[in-house]
Amino acid sequence: MSAEEFLQIIAPDKETPTSFRMGTIPGTYTSGLPTVQFDGETVASTKRYPCFGSYTPKAGDRVLLARVGHGWVVMDKIRTV
């Protein structure tokens, strides 16, 4: 199952808020907490997002984020191969 299929299962319609989102670490990222360009948005966020300790962000990574409280946490890189 792909990450996109997983997200469609847990949030089948646009009116239901989702607990997960996908995005990309921008190519300009170099270190520290990353910004994220969320899928469906045209520019990266200005906010920096915390990450799980097992994930080290890299420019260009596709990532899965989970809603925690009123914000988002980068869970991990999504591997497609």
Residue range 5-60, pLDDT digits in tens: 776 666 655 555 678 999 999 999 999 999 999 999 999 999 999 999 999 999 99
Give residue 40's pLDDT. Answer: 92
As to burial, measured by CB atoms within 10 angstroms (0-12 exposed, 13-18 middle, 19+ buried), residue 38 is middle
pTM: 0.76
Write the CA distances from 55 to 8, 10, 12, 16, 68, integer angstroms: 24, 23, 28, 28, 17
Q: Where are the alpha helices (DSSP H) in 1-81?
A: 3-10
* Number of domains present in the structure of the chain: 1
Element containing residue 67 per DSSP (H, E):
strand 62-68
- CATH assignment of the domain containing 38: 2.40.50
Q: Which residues make Cβ contacts (< 8 Å) with residue 25, sequence separation at least 6?
A: 34, 35, 36, 57, 58, 59, 60, 61, 63
Domain holding 44, by residue range, is: 3-77
